[in-house]
Structure formats: structure tokens, C-alpha cells
Amino acid sequence: MSRVNRPVSTRQAWWLLAGALAAALPLVQQVPVWLAAAAAAAFAWRAALTWRQWHLPPRWLLVLLVIAGTAGVVMQYRSIVGRTPGIALLVVFLALKLLELRAARDAIVTALLCYFLVLGQFLFTQTIPTALLSCLTVLITTATMLAASDDRPAPLLQLRRAALMLAQAMPFMLLLFILFPRVQGPLWGLPQDRYTATSGISETMSPGSIAQLSQSDAIAFRVQFAGQVPPQSQLYWRGPVMPAFDGRTWSIRQILAAYSELPYAVQGEPIDYDLTLEPNGKFWLFALEMPGSLPPDGALTSDYQPISRQIVRNRLRYTQRAYPASQAGIDESRAMLRESLALPSGGNPRTRALGAEWRNRHGDDGAAILATAQDFFNRQLLIYTLNPPLLGPDMVDEFLFESKRGFCEHFAAAFVYALRAAGVPARVVAGYQGGEVNPVDGYLEVRQYDAHAWTEAWIAGRGWVRIDPTAISAPSRINSNLAAAVPAGEALPFLARTDLAWVRELRYRLDAVTNGWNQWVLGYNPQKQRDFLSSLGFGEPDWRSMTAALAVLCGFVLLGLTAWVLRNRRRTDPAFAAWRRFTGRLAARGTVWRNWEGPLAFAERAAAASPAHATAIRDIAALYARLRYAPAPRREDLERLRRQVADFRP
């Protein structure tokens, strides 16, 4: 059709360039440098084409450029599927489409590409600033579509109209967002590169691995307690349990769901909480020790580490219960105990000798050995620091007897090593310790710098007992936080510092907003949708009832919007309205005004029919005629007409 083939005007070209810029700029960091430069060159070329009214580049050149761009992307990523290559390809297409604006159809395609790029942006980040930025992109792109249809209005007017239309679309968005039956992704296989940026506790622990995490203030998870927040010293968030040791690195045994029911009896007071876990790219689910319930779709490994059956790729919220006083593993298997005694052959002779000495002194009395070990750690005056010296092959000896400086992984490793040397089964437990309550929304925020490692020793009759060797030397790490425990002046993440009150205040507020955003916008998954709709009074929300409610509510919005949009702002002329009232009264008396009849002629006819009111009729008609036909009608006449018509009672 002819209108689709209309050439793109200069104004439209500028609009399209603006839309493309708004869509591509936020992705600059995500595409390779050469592509960003090439896209910038294409945009500049487009600007020059529009500015100078040059001819468009020939088709063959564009085809060559598309091939070159695609080849570049393939060479860069060795693939064209997946998040980053896909986005890169879209940027290539968008940049080259701008050089091919021949008809209005190309303008639509360009606008659609811009919308796609907004989605592409969400693949990398979905924070509040991103959302605001993409609102701007959508606004500009929509104004571009408006301009593609009618390029005459000024840019501000186009933006205003786009904003109005988007505002009218908002109710639909809200309803659809809340009620559209959500499906848990992925629908098909996800490219591997989707989850590269997650950091957190890994399967292994070697010197320095947790200290490295302490430099990150990223949120690991947030917790909402049903009751009081327990004291800091009780907040041990159990993660990977590492019984295997190769002389330098501790590692987990195997990620295997061993128990889908609690393998131990719970006792003591329960603590109830909801935990919102950030994606960690692992199977880890964290739980307060000792877990008193299993999260949905979760399990415990044979050493009581809570795990998920799928890799945690999305933010996850689950309700949990903990029994801190529970005793687990009283009748632990021999194989497990044997494993928890294993030491590599050779190395660390002083610690081994120390263990043997404890063993000689206390024999099989694990509890006594444990007490001796704690006492020993206390007397060694070990220093808790983020910057321990590098250790050689006999790292436990070096730490305990020479440098005496270490981070929690050194403490835990040395403690377990010493206990094993003394014949007490022990293992390293990694996880998080503590957290910080955000006073704004009451959530406890656990960050990567709260990562910690502690130990468990098996004592006959008591099962696995938690001992935190760090707490022996640096109790403030456990009772308050990292910043309080490390020596002043050591590098800490900005947010871990506690000396700037206003920064903390601001940070609390930001975190509360972010948390609300995460919980309600980003975390609005099928589960959350069901819970929310149930709380609104939906009996058993399934896709049928949701679709029905959606249809009904959208129908209402549509009706309201239609009424508003189609409202007829035709105002009846006030003089004519008065005249209609007047003729209506006369019609009731039998003299009907015919709409082609002049007012004065009608007045004569009506006066003849009802002589008693002749004067009033003639006055009104004369007033009306004056208002209607006089060159400059006066306002007083309108008032008089109204009054006289109101008083007219034939």
C-alpha cells in the first residue's frame, strides 16, 4: 500500500536516530568494543545522511556490512545463540537498518528493534535505575512511532502524546502483570552464559577464598523473621559442608540429596523466617542452623547441607524454620566418621604432634580434647585479619605457630586439622555468619562479606557440635560484624564500614526500596502470584480464574478508557439552549418551532396563537435574534435571555 511505501522524511529520520540511540546506549558495556565503535560510526553516518541529505548507501554495501557484522559477532562469541551474541546481533541490525530507511515500513521495523533491545537490557540488569532508563527508551521509541505516522508535530508534542498513550496503557500493564498466569521459565534450554556473573561461596575453600568474598557487598540473601531477630552470635547460615582435605583445599563430598525429610530430631524453641535468596549459580540453599524444615523442592545432603534440586538461577523465596538447639548426627555412620578423620599423609608435623599429645592426654574423650583445643587457640593469641601473609606447604603449622595471622578459613582449617590429628572427627562448614537488620523494612540483609567458615566436631552422645574458632580469637566478628573485628585501616567494602552514619542511613533506605522491588516486581513468580492472589481473596488461583479475572478487569478498564477517549466535547451553545427551552414550552402549548423558521417569524406566529404572552414572546425572540445575528453579541443579552426564558410561563 502506498502509505507504507512513503519515503522516510528528515524529521522521521532524526526521530529514528534518537530512538536507536536511546535503545543502544544502555547496552554499550555489554557489546564488544569494536561493535560499539562500529555502531557509533553507523549512527554518525545516519546523522550525516540526514543532515546533508545524502543518498542512502547502496544495497550491496549494506548486505556486505550485515555479513561482516554477523561474522564479527560469530568470531567474537563462537556462537550466535545466547544472551550476549544475540544482543550484539540486534545492535548490528539496528545500526544497519538506520542506513536503510527507505520507506515507512523500515521505520516500524527500526522501532520494533528498539523494543527488543530494551528486553535485551533486562537480560543483564533489572534494577530500578534500569527500569527508569528503559521507560525513557520506550517513551522515545513510541514517540518515534508516532512520528513515523505523522511527522508534523513538534518533538515535545510527540513526546507528550507518547507519554499520554503510555499512561493510558499503564492500567493494562498493571492488570496483566498481576493477573497474567505466570509460567516458570525456562521454556527451553538456556544458553550457558546466562549466569556468569554470580559470585558467592563455592564448593571448595582454600586460603584466601573467603577473604576474597569479603570484598564484595553484594547481597547474598535477605531474611524476614516471624518473631524477634535472634542475637548475632546465633546467626550461622549453613552452606556447603567440607569434609575433604587435600593439604591445601577443603571441598565438599558430593552434591547429593540424601534426605528429603529431617534426619534428626528437633528440639528447643523454633525460629521462623522467610529467606529470599539471590541467585548463586549453585545448588546452595542457606538455612539457619540447624534446619528444622526443608524448603520446597529442596533436600539435605548427608552432612546436612540444604540444597536445591535445581541450580539457583533466579531469586528464590522460601519459608524456613530453624531449631538452634537441635542435636544432629548422634548415630553418625562409621564411614562418615572415618571420612571426617582423614588427613593427607605428611605435612604440618607440629600440629600433628600437638594432636597426638592431646590424644594421649585425654584418650577417647572427644569433649575434653575439644576443650583443650579451644583453650590452645585462645592462648595462641591469633590475629583475625583480612590480609594474612602467604603460607607455604605446611600452612596449618605456619598459621598456628609462626604468622598467627589469618582469616576465618585459616582458623577453621587449622582447627579441624588439629582435631583430626587428635582423633576427633571434624569438618569445615562454610556459609554466612550474622547479617544486618535494615531498620527501614526490618529485613536482615546478609551480604557476601558476611561469608564465613566454621567447624563441626563429632562428640559421642552429642553428635555434631558447632565450634567457631574465629569466635575464640575475634569474638567481635561473631557478636557484631566484620568491620568491628578486623584491624582499623584494612580495606573493606564501602558498605561494610560503619563509621559514616548518614551513608548507612541512605544505604538502609536504598536497600529497603531495592528489596521491595526484588520482592514484588522482580520476584513476582508463579509462587508469589498464587500467594498474592490468595491474600486478595482468590480461593484457589489457577490460570482459569486468573484469565477470567483478567478479562473482566481489562474489560472494565477498556470501557472506562473508551468512555474517556470517545467523550464528545460538543457543548451546546447557551443561547440556543435557552431558545430550545423557550420553544419547548411553546410546543407544549401547541405552537411548534420548525428548525428552519427564523426567530422573529416564529415569534409572530406564536404571539398570534397566544396573544396573552405576545410581548414576552416577542422580547425573547428579539433577544435571541440579536444574540444570534448581531455583529457583536453582548453578554448581558445572554443573561437577560436566560432570565426571561426562565420566567416565561405560558
Partner 1 sequence: MLATLRHRINEAFMRWAVPVKPPEPSPIVLTQRRVYVLPTPAGLSYGTALIVILLGAMNYNLSLGHALVFLLAGLGVVTILHTFRNLALLEISPGRCDPVFAGGTAQFALVLENRRGDGRTSLRVYIGDGDPIEVDVGPQASTIALLPVPAVRRGWLRVPRITIETTWPLGLVRAWSYVVPDLNCLVYPAPAAKAPPLPWSGDSARGTSRDGRGADDFAGMRDHQPADSPRHVAWKTVARQHEGPLLTKLFSGAAAHQVWLDWDALPESGDAEGRLAILARWMLEAEAAGHSWGLSIPGLRLAPDNGASHLAAGLRALALFPHVTR
Catalytic machinery residues? 408, 452, 468
CA–CA dist 68, 61 (Å, integer): 10
Phi/psi of residue 436, each to 5°?
A: -135, 130
Contact between 171 and partner 1 by CB under 8 A: the answer reads: yes
CA–CA dist 399, 406 (Å, integer): 7
Span of 183-191, 232-240, 321-329, 573-581 interacting with partner 1 by CB under 8 A: 183-191
Nearer to partner 1, 342 or 551 (CB): 551
CB-based burial, 172-183: b 16+ in 10 Å, e otherwise: eeebeebbeebe
| Grid coordinates belonging to 54 | 545524502
With CB under 8 A as the contact rule, the residue among 34, 44, 185, 297 that binds partner 1 is 185
Contact between 523 and partner 1 by CB under 8 A: the answer reads: yes
Q: Is 590 left (phi over 0), alpha (psi -120 to 50) or beta?
A: left
Interaction residues for partner 1, span 284-323 (CB under 8 A)? 313-314
Q: Smallest distance from the beta carbon of 506 to partner 1, in angstroms?
A: 24
With CB under 8 A as the contact rule, the residue among 56, 103, 194, 626 that binds partner 1 is 194
Pick the closest to residue 338 from 407, 244, 441 (CA basis): 244
3 state DSSP class of 291: strand
Decide: 82 and 193 in contact? Cβ < 8 Å.
yes
Contact between 585 and partner 1 by CB under 8 A: the answer reads: no
Contact between 503 and partner 1 by CB under 8 A: the answer reads: no
Decide: 114 and 94 in contact? Cβ < 8 Å.
yes
Q: Smallest distance from the beta carbon of 148 to partner 1, in angstroms?
A: 6
Contact between 149 and partner 1 by CB under 8 A: the answer reads: yes
Contact between 626 and partner 1 by CB under 8 A: the answer reads: no
Instruction: Say what the alpha-carbon torsion angle 385, 387, 391, 394 is, to the nearest 10 degrees.
Output: 10
DSSP notation for 430-450: EEEE--EE-TTT-PEEEEGGG
Q: In which residue are the cell numbers 590452645 written?
A: 376
With CB under 8 A as the contact rule, the residue among 177, 543, 556, 629 that binds partner 1 is 177
Contact between 453 and partner 1 by CB under 8 A: the answer reads: no
Contact between 522 and partner 1 by CB under 8 A: the answer reads: yes
CA–CA dist 415, 378 (Å, integer): 12
| Grid coordinates belonging to 67 | 555479513
Q: Smallest distance from the beta carbon of 568 to partner 1, in angstroms?
A: 6
Element (H, E) at 330: none
Nearer to partner 1, 521 or 552 (CB): 521
Q: Smallest distance from the beta carbon of 162 to partner 1, in angstroms?
A: 9
Site string for partner 1, 54-93 (x = CB under 8 A): -----------------------------x----------
Q: Smallest distance from the beta carbon of 185 to partner 1, in angstroms?
A: 4
Q: Does the N-terminal peptide bond of residue 186 adopt cis geometry, omega within 30 degrees of 0?
A: yes
- State the CB neighbour count (10 A cutoff) for residue 147: 27
3 state DSSP class of 550: helix
Contact between 341 and partner 1 by CB under 8 A: the answer reads: no
Contact between 184 and partner 1 by CB under 8 A: the answer reads: yes
Q: Smallest distance from the beta carbon of 173 to partner 1, in angstroms?
A: 4
Q: Smallest distance from the beta carbon of 583 to partner 1, in angstroms?
A: 22
Contact between 493 and partner 1 by CB under 8 A: the answer reads: no
Q: Is 461 left (phi over 0), alpha (psi -120 to 50) or beta?
A: left
Length of the chain: 650
Please give the C-alpha separations between residue 181 and each of 96, 123, 168, 199, 545, in angstroms, as whole numbers. 37, 21, 22, 32, 9
Nearer to partner 1, 56 or 108 (CB): 108
Strand pairing category for 405-406 and 383-384: parallel
Q: Smallest distance from the beta carbon of 169 to partner 1, in angstroms?
A: 3
| Grid coordinates belonging to 164 | 499520554
DSSP state of 232: G
Q: Smallest distance from the beta carbon of 137 to partner 1, in angstroms?
A: 10
Contact between 247 and partner 1 by CB under 8 A: the answer reads: no
Q: In which residue are the cell numbers 583430626 written?
A: 420
Contact between 170 and partner 1 by CB under 8 A: the answer reads: yes
Contact between 161 and partner 1 by CB under 8 A: the answer reads: yes
Nearer to partner 1, 152 or 379 (CB): 152
Contact between 183 and partner 1 by CB under 8 A: the answer reads: yes
Q: Smallest distance from the beta carbon of 440 to partner 1, in angstroms?
A: 22
Site string for partner 1, 103-132 (x = CB under 8 A): -xx--xx--x--xx-xx--xx--x---xx-
Phi/psi of residue 535, each to 5°?
A: -70, -20
Q: What is the CA radius of gyration of the chain?
A: 38
Which residues on adjacent β-strands are paired with residue 466? 456
Nearer to partner 1, 32 or 171 (CB): 171
Contact between 150 and partner 1 by CB under 8 A: the answer reads: yes
DSSP notation for 161-196: HHHHHHHHHHHHHHHHHHHSPP--S-SSPPPGGGG-
Strand pairing category for 271-277 and 316-322: antiparallel
Nearer to partner 1, 176 or 601 (CB): 176
With CB under 8 A as the contact rule, the residue among 45, 172, 538, 648 that binds partner 1 is 172
Nearer to partner 1, 314 or 644 (CB): 314
Contact between 173 and partner 1 by CB under 8 A: the answer reads: yes
Strand pairing category for 436-437 and 444-447: antiparallel
Span of 185-193, 234-242, 353-361, 397-405 interacting with partner 1 by CB under 8 A: 185-193
3 state DSSP class of 223: strand
Nearer to partner 1, 379 or 570 (CB): 570
Nearer to partner 1, 401 or 524 (CB): 524
Q: How many residues bind partner 1 (CB under 8 A)?
A: 63
Q: Smallest distance from the beta carbon of 524 to partner 1, in angstroms?
A: 6
Which residues would be at the binding site for partner 1 (CB under 8 A)? 2-4, 83, 104-105, 108-109, 112, 115-116, 118-119, 122-123, 126, 130-131, 134, 138, 142, 145-146, 148-150, 161, 165-166, 168-173, 176-177, 180, 182-188, 190, 194, 313-314, 521-525, 558, 561-562, 565-566, 568-571
